[in-house]
Each structure stands twice: as C-alpha cells, then as structure tokens.
Chain A
Amino acid sequence: MKELDNATLIRQTLEGQEKPFEILIDRYQKVIYNVALRMLNDVQDAEDIAQTVFIKVYQNLRTFDFKHKFFNWIYRMAINESLNLGEQRRRFEGLEVDYASEDHSPEKNYESLELSNQVGSSLMGIEPEYRILIILKHLQELSYGEISYILEMSEKKVKSRLFTARHLLKDVMVKRGIKK
C-alpha cells in the first residue's frame, strides 16, 4: 500500500479523520523522543516533551504552512521545548544524569547501553546550543541544509558551530577517559 505523505495526513486529520494523526505519531514519536532525550538526558523529560510536541502539533495543525516540511516544523518544536525545559531544570536544580534509569529495550547488550550512556552524559557536558548540532548532524543524520532550516541559521554558521561542538565534545570525552 502506498505510504501517504505528511501533507495528505495533515489534511485528512484536519477533515476529522483519526487514523492519519496516529500515522504521524508513529512516524515521528521516536525521532522527537530521541532529540529530547539527547538534549535533556532524561527519559521522563523526553517523554514529556514528545507528548507536549504532539499536543501542540494537533492544536496548531490549522496553522501549518504546507510550503514547509512537516518534519522541520516538528523538529523545531521539539528543540524549542527541550531548550525551554532544560533551562527551567537548570535554573532550579542543575541537570542530573539519570539516563540509564529506564531502558525500554532489555535486549540491548551492555556495551551498547554503556556507549549510549557515555555519549549521553558527555553531550550534557557541552552547552545546549552546541549539543543540538551534534544531535542533529550525528544522531539524526541531517544535512547542513536541513539543520540550517530547522535552527534558522545560515549554513555557514551551522558548520562553524558544528565544528566547535565537535572539538568541545572531544575534549569532554577525553577528560572522561571515553576517548583517547
């Protein structure tokens, strides 16, 4: 069966159908969850963000501009929500690392989980404005152009920040003995 594009699913949702929005959730919940998870290093916060993002998407679906890509819109929303919540948490208590507190994939082997935790905690060692570049480029595998659109900054600035982010992350990992 032909896979429906996002614009069609949005139109069908706006017409009152329920299934199309479920397909959008299926399509993007993991991506949004992972962006938030890497930004905040907290599984519960990441789920809160994913939930909030989809509620806002649903509430604001009528305002969606079909000239733009849906995934850029939802990415941007997830990033903004993550930055806002991260800032709130930081102001109140400082971020804690409880990344390993909940894992929904028990079949994952120890090494994979360990690596994931090390990368997760190392990412928290760099500022959010650099962290997001690493997440979008390396973990979400987006192009410079896509990152530029999502973060609303020039490709030149994306490259510059990404390169700095890599150096910062490398330094954090070296300090933690993760990388030689």
Chain B
Amino acid sequence: MIDDKHLQLIHQEIDGENSSEESEAVQKYMLKNEEAKTLYSDLNALSNLLNQVDAKDPSPNLKKNILNSIQPYKSSSREKTPVIGGVIQNIKSVFQIKYGFAFASGLAAGLILFVLYGNQNLQTPANKISNFYGTMIPKEADNNLQSVSFFEINLDEVTGSVHVKNGKDVVLFEIQLNSSQNIDVHLGFNKDELEFGGLSKGDHPSRGAIEYDANQVNLTTKAESSTLILFKRLASDAKINFRLSQNGNTLLEEVMTTGN
C-alpha cells in the first residue's frame, strides 16, 4: 500500500519536479516499501519509453497548403476596403489560383454567395468570411441558384447525394457522402468550360489536401462529409465527369450537365 502523499512524490520524482528534500524522502520511502519501488520502476520505464518517441514530420506540403488556404483572407485582413470592392477583389484572387496542391476554404463560396444574394447589412468582408467559413449554402439563399442536376448515391460502399447548381457565372457542386472507408472523389472537366475556384468544407470535413489542376479536382472523404466545390463558368454547356472510387476501383461514374 502506498499512501497518497508518497504516491504524488513518486510521480513528481518521475517528472523531476521534487525538491532535494522531497527526492530524499521518496528514496528513503522506496527502500522500505517494495510496492513503491516497483511502481517507481514501472513509471520510470514508461517515462523513458515515451521519451524515446520522436516527433513526426508533417507532410512537406503542409506549409504550402496552409499558405494557399489563407491566401484568400489576406486582402481582407490587411486593409478595410469598401465591402463590395473588397469582395470582388477577393473573388478575382480566388479565380486566379493556378495549378498545384491546395486546401481551400469556404471563402470563395461565401464571397460568391455574398455577391449573388447581396446582403446590405454586412459590415466588413472579414465578418462575412467568418460567417461563411465551413458552411454550406443557406436554404433561404438557395432560390437564386438554379438546380440543374441531382442524384442520390446508394451503394454498399458509400451513400449520399450530388447536387449541381447553376449561378450566373458560377457552378456549385455539392457532394454529401457517408462511408466507413476512404472514398476518392474525382471531378473532371474541360478547362475551356470550367475553372476551379475553391471549396467549402461542411461540418464533417473532407480529409486531406485536395489536388487539382486545369482539368480535374480530386479529394478523399471518409465518414460523413459534405463539400461544396465552386467553379467559374466559362461555357454555358459545361459538363463535369463525376467519379467515385475506392482503392482504385471505380464505384460510380456520371457525366453531369451544368447548363440550363
């Protein structure tokens, strides 16, 4: 039996937090209490084991992904521009994203929605960004977007839905998926018809970095995920080749129209 006072001293000894008097006291105690000695030995071994665990290096892309993610916020955090002007400036910067890895945020969708629905009560772009971050399209705002394509997914590996909505110059691609394993989502498109603008993660975020280039967007989801992907429309009859796969096996493939 080890009393509470000495139990605490043993733990503190492991942490190097005892004074010299306390260290001496606990050493003396262990000499006459075998259980205390065994506990100290076990805890010391545990501590040594944990100390041997090296910190892991994150992916070399992490910093780049972070910098890409905060890019759209930069102009709004630096200066107070007029609301509409600032928003338009941000949209332009979003649409100027070139090729590479990125992990975008809900900013693009938020800003686009701001322009589409023109809320007069907004105060600053920064406020609007935080309101939209991590959210999907508000139901009440849906009226200004036209639904052009929708289908439900009911496969053994994954369930959910895909919804394509059409705005004046934008296409919004909503994906909601439920799966117990990783599901790879591929959106292929013609670069002369659509340009990737960004994405918004829902309450159950998609996992990892998204990968995109001029003709495709790829991301991986698991568990419950909801993602809104934003495109700038370059042609009225643009199509998106939507594909779900798992471990390289195609589960579903659909060509979806984005025109009226």
Using a CB–CB distance below 8 Å, which chain A residues touch chain B? 14-16, 18, 21-22, 25-26, 29-31, 33-34, 37, 43-48, 50-52, 54-55, 58-59, 61-62, 88-89, 92-93, 103-105, 108, 112, 115-116, 119, 134, 137-139, 144, 159, 162-163, 166, 169-170, 173, 178-179
Docked pose: A64 CA to B49 CA in angstroms: 37
User: Could you tell me the distance in whole angstroms from the C-beta of B53 to the nearest C-beta in chain A?
Assistant: 5
> Could you tell me the distance in whole angstroms from the C-beta of A118 to the nearest C-beta in chain B?
9
Q: Give chain A nearest CB distance to B108 CB in angstroms.
A: 14
Name the residue on B nearest A58 (C-beta): B70
A62 to B127, CA, bound (A): 13
Q: B23 within 8 Å of A by Cβ?
A: no
Chain B residues whose C-beta falls within 8 Å of the C-beta of A89 in the assembled complex: 223
Given A30-B55, A93-B180, A139-B53, answer yes or no on A16-B78 (Cβ-Cβ < 8 Å). Answer: yes
Instruction: Identify which of B56, B67, B69 contacts A105 (C-beta below 8 A).
Output: B56
Among A59, A134, A137, which residue has the most Cβ atoms of chain B within 10 A? Answer: A59
Interface SS of chain A: helix, strand, loop or mixed? helix
Q: Count of A-B contacts with CB under 8 A?
A: 131
- Contact status A179-B49, CB under 8 Å: yes
| A50, B62: Cβ atoms closer than 8 Å | yes
Q: With A162-B11, A170-B43 given, is the CB distance from A29 to B54 under 8 Å? A: no
| B55 near A59: Cβ-Cβ < 8 Å | no
Also in contact, A29 and B50, with CB within 8 A (given A16-B78, A48-B208, A93-B180): no
Nearest CB in chain B: distance from A176 CB, A: 12
Interface size on B, residues (CB 8 A): 51
25 contacts between A and B (CB under 8 A): A21-B70, A29-B63, A45-B207, A47-B58, A47-B59, A47-B65, A51-B66, A54-B66, A54-B69, A55-B69, A89-B223, A93-B180, A104-B56, A104-B60, A112-B52, A112-B54, A116-B53, A116-B56, A137-B15, A166-B11, A166-B14, A166-B43, A170-B43, A170-B46, A179-B46
Residues of chain B having any CB pair with chain A under 8 Å: 7-8, 11-12, 14-15, 17, 42-43, 45-47, 49-60, 62-63, 65-67, 69-70, 73-74, 77-79, 103, 105, 126, 129-130, 133, 180, 204-205, 207-209, 220, 223-224
Give Cα A48 to B180, complex, Å: 18
A88→B60 CA distance, assembly (Å)? 27
**B45: which A residues are within 8 A, CB to CB?**
179
Q: How far is the CA of A61 from the CA of B47 in the complex (A)?
A: 36
* B8–A58 touching, CB < 8 Å: no
| Closest chain A residue to B63, Cβ basis | A25
Provided the pairs A61-B77, A173-B46 are in contact, do residues A30 and B223 lie with their beta carbons within 8 angstroms?
no
B67 lies within 8 A of A159 (CB): no
Asked whether A138 and B51 contact (CB < 8 A) given A93-B223, A163-B11, the answer is yes
From A104, which residue of chain B is reached at the shortest CB distance? B57
How far apart sit A138 and B103, CA to CA, in the bound complex (Å)?
32
A156 to chain B: closest CB distance in Å?
10
| Closest beta carbon of chain A to B116's beta carbon, Å | 23
> Known interface pairs A88-B223, A159-B8. Does A29 touch B53 (Cβ–Cβ under 8 Å)?
no
Distance in angstroms between the alpha carbons of A58 and B77 in the assembled complex: 9
- What are the residues of chain B within 8 A of A44 when measuring CB–CB? 207-208, 220
Chain A residues within an 8 Å CB radius of B53? 115-116, 119, 139
B71 to chain A, nearest CB (A): 10
The CA of A51 and the CA of B208, in the complex, are separated in Å by 10
- C-alpha spacing A111/B238, complex, angstroms: 53
